[in-house]
Amino acid sequence: MTEKEKFLRDVNRAYAEGDEKFFMEHITDDICWTIVGEKDISGRAEFKEVLDQMKEMPAVEIEVENVFFNDTHGIVEGVVVSRNRLGQKKHFGFCDIYKFAEGETLGISAITSYVIDISRHIRYRENC
């Protein structure tokens, strides 16, 4: 496993575990996170607010299916498994595109996230 692949897998582990410290150490001050069709998050302060909101949500599991990268960008796709307020499992397919920050240490300067509810797909349907 290359350094970039490990880093991208660590990013997803940090998301699943709510590891705010990891994110704050690996994002730029001018981070821009676009969740397509939902919202845009700009800067460290807004990013931290979103991380704080995520702590209030039920725990999530992330199944990383593919990791791709080149010199400037990384792509991670997979499935996020969460529970809604009624305790029902929800499955979301995701594709996150990361722009690596310039510099010698790995960091993130931008994220574009595509997220789709796939809970109704027969593979993910939960029997009640």
CATH numbers and ranges of domains, the chain: 3-117 (3.10.450.50)
Q: Which residue has the higher pLDDT, 82 or 3?
A: 3
Checking if the pLDDT of 128 tops 50, the result is: no
Residue 28 confidence class, pLDDT cut points 50, 70, 90: very high
Q: Which two tokens stand for residue 28?
A: 């730029």
Once rounded to an integer, what is the mean pLDDT over residues 103-126?
86
Once rounded to an integer, what is the mean pLDDT over residues 66-86?
92
For the chain, percent of residues with pLDDT exceeding 90: 67
Name the pTM for this structure: 0.88
d(CA 108, CA 50): 16
